[in-house]
Every structure is written in structure tokens, then in C-alpha cells.
């Protein structure tokens, strides 16, 4: 079933920083955003194939050539043959950046009908603001497995030894050690930069991301309101610490949407506090300003698979 995408139009923010700080924030935000703009221009986006990431597994014709050309020598690592049935080359063949994705694996068991969930899934952490996050850019690919998610650049560089370690110890436990596995069926849930969502959504990826971006924007607007009110840095930090305690108590005592919202709000508070500790009030407010530059986004599911 197809739905028309409706992304709210950008509205001028009613939140205004004091002129001296606002001018500095504008320059800082511009400097922060420029690398992202340059990154989005390389590699060039392939023709749009709709809102769906491409999964290339061991049984696909191009798998081995993609693997050896992008991850040279990986097939020679100790433990590779144990992990190979679970490996997927995940590629973005669309013109849209993926904001977040979650890989899920099912397996068919020898002598038993149907596929069974592995209860193994992988979602990649990214410290960037959720609303501007690029988990997989157009034209980009990554190699994923239940305990692995790596780009070609990281594989050739700082994460090569980590990949070798994962491969080496893979046979020591599930899911790789399950001897009755007949076949492995991967799938992916993904949210794109225009709000379109594709996938089975078995782990409520779409709802969780909506809560993540909503709570992030809510908090950023509150911080800018405090700055507009000429609150001191100490007052703003005290506000965040108090809100952190509130989010913790709500998250511990609530289930459902309220608990999920509190969970993400608490995470965003810690990120803002981390920015303050590393760069002061300007760094923290720069993050808030950058978040509110994006229009509010409501996710729309465009297909179940």
C-alpha cells in the first residue's frame, strides 16, 4: 500500500537568541553543516529506486565480488566461513539518506517448517542529532551481521582488528554456532530523510525514531527559550540536570509511549550536557540551534516490506 508523503513545510522559528550570541551561532552552525553538505555530494547518488535499501547476501551473484573489492582479505580471516551465511552487504541505491536502520535476521532450521526469528538485530549508534543523522548516505554500503556493522573505510583502517576479532570468536556462541541452521533470511527497517519508512517494523523502529526526533526538538526549543530569557549557563545546566532526574523517574515508572519518550529525552539531555562539558554554553546552544533549523518531521510508512 502506498501513501503520499507529507513533510511539513519549514516555518521560521519563533525562538531568537540574543543578537551577539545568535550571530556566533549562525557562523558555528554553518561551519558544522558544511562538511555534511560536502559529504552528501560524494559519492554521487545513483538513480532513485524508491524507498528501499538493497540487501546483498551470500547467495546473490554480486556478493563475493562486492565483498572482496570493498573488504579485501576478509574472506581469509579466521572464522569467516562461520559468519558468512549471516553477512549482508547493505547498500543505499536511493537518492535519500537513511536516518536510521535496523537489521533483523530470521533462520530456517533443518527438519522444521518456516522461519524463526533469531532475536538478533543490529542498529548503529550515532552521536549526531537524530534529525540530521546520516546512517547510510546515497551510494554508500556497509557490511553487516548480527554482531558486525562496518564500512569499507573503517575496515581498511581503525576497525580492521576489531572485525578480525569478531570473526575469530564467532563460532563460540549463537547465532553463529547453531548447527541446525538451514538458511538465514535478513531484513531491514529504515527511515529516510524525507520521513518515508520501509520494513516490517517488528521492533517498533519507526515509532522509536519518531519519539527520538520529537523529544530532541522539544528539548532544543526549551533550551533556546531559556537563552532568550537571558538565563545564565548555570541556570540552563541546572535545568538539564533536573530534567534528567525527571526523565529517569518517568522512564522507570512508565511503560508504552510515555516511557519511550522519557528514555530518548534522557539520552538527549546527556548529549547536551556532554556538549557543555566539552565546549561550553556556545557548543550546547549550537547543537540546539542546528536541530531547530530542520522542519518538524512526521514519519510515513510507504510499504510493509
pLDDT at 58: 96
Average per-residue pLDDT in the chain? Answer: 84
pLDDT band, very low/low/confident/very high, at 116 (cuts 50, 70, 90): confident
pLDDT at 117: 83
- C-alpha triplet 206, 212, 215: angle, nearest 5°: 135
pLDDT at 305: 60
pTM score: 0.79
pLDDT band, very low/low/confident/very high, at 15 (cuts 50, 70, 90): very low
Please give the Cα distance from 38 to 293 (Å, whole number).
18
Mean pLDDT of 267-294: 96
pLDDT at 253: 60
pLDDT at 49: 54
pLDDT band, very low/low/confident/very high, at 50 (cuts 50, 70, 90): confident
Q: Where are the beta strands (DSSP E) in 124-241?
A: 141-145, 148-150, 181-192, 196-198
Mean pLDDT of 201-208: 92
Mean pLDDT of 50-77: 95
pLDDT band, very low/low/confident/very high, at 35 (cuts 50, 70, 90): very low
The answer on pLDDT for 207 being more than 90 is yes
pLDDT at 179: 87
Mean pLDDT of 94-114: 91
The answer on pLDDT for 28 being more than 50 is no
Q: What is the pLDDT of residues 123-168, one digit of tens each?
A: 777 788 999 999 999 999 999 999 999 999 999 999 999 999 999 9
Torsion-angle region of residue 195: left (phi > 0), alpha (psi -120 to 50) or beta? left
Counted residue by residue, the chain has a size of 305
Higher pLDDT, 74 or 49: 74
Buried b (16+ CB within 10 A) or exposed e, 223-251: bbebbeeeeeeeebbeebeebbeebeebb
pLDDT at 23: 40
The three-state secondary structure class of 210 is helix
The answer on pLDDT for 235 being more than 80 is yes
Distances in Å between the Cα of 178 and the Cα atoms of 83, 120, 165 are: 11, 13, 19
Mean pLDDT of 270-279: 96
Mean pLDDT of 26-46: 38
pLDDT at 26: 38
Amino acid at each position: 500500500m502506498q501513501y503520499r508523503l507529507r513533510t511539513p513545510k519549514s516555518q521560521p522559528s519563533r525562538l531568537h537568541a540574543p543578537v551577539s550570541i545568535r550571530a556566533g551561532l549562525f557562523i558555528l552552525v554553518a561551519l558544522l553543516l558544511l562538511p555534511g553538505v560536502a559529504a552528501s555530494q560524494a559519492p554521487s547518488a545513483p538513480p532513485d529506486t524508491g524507498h528501499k535499501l538493497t540487501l546483498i547476501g551470500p547467495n546473490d551473484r554480486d556478493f563475493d565480488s562486492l565483498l572482496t573489492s570493498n573488504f579485501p582479505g576478509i574472506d581469509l580471516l579466521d572464522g569467516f566461513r562461520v559468519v558468512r551465511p549471516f553477512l549482508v552487504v547493505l547498500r543505499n541505491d536511493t537518492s535519500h539518506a537513511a536516518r536510521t536502520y535496523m537489521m533483523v535476521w530470521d533462520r530456517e532450521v533443518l527438519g522444521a517448517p518456516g522461519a524463526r526469528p533469531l532475536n538478533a538485530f543490529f542498529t548503529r549508534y550515532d552521536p549526531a542529532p537524530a534529525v540530521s543523522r546520516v546512517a547510510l548516505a546515497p551510494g554508500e554500503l556497509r557490511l553487516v551481521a548480527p554482531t558486525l556493522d562496518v564500512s569499507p573505510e573503517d575496515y581498511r583502517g581503525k576497525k580492521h582488528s576489531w572485525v578480525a576479532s569478531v570473526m575469530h570468536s564467532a563460532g563460540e556462541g549463537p547465532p553463529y554456532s547453531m548447527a541446525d541452521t538451514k538458511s538465514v533470511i535478513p531484513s531491514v527497517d529504515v527511515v529516510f530523510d524525507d520521513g518515508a519508512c520501509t520494513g516490517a517494523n517488528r521492533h517498533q523502529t519507526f515509532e522509536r525514531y519518531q519519539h527520538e526526533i520529537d523529544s530532541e526538538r522539544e528539548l532544543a526549543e526549551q533550551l533556546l527559550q531559556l537563552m532568550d530569557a537571558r538565563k545564565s549557563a548555570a541556570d540552563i545546566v541546572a535545568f538539564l540536570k533536573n530534567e534528567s532526574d525527571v526523565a529517569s523517574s518517568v522512564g522507570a515508572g512508565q511503560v508504552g509511549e510515555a516511557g519511550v519518550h522519557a528514555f530518548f529525552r534522557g539520552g538527549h539531555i546527556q548529549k547536551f550536557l556532554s556538549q557543555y562539558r566539552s565546549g561550553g554554553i556556545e557548543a550546547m546552544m549550537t547543537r540546539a540551534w542546528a536541530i531547530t533549523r530542520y522542519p518538524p518531521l512526521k514519519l510515513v510508512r510507504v510499504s510493509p516490506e
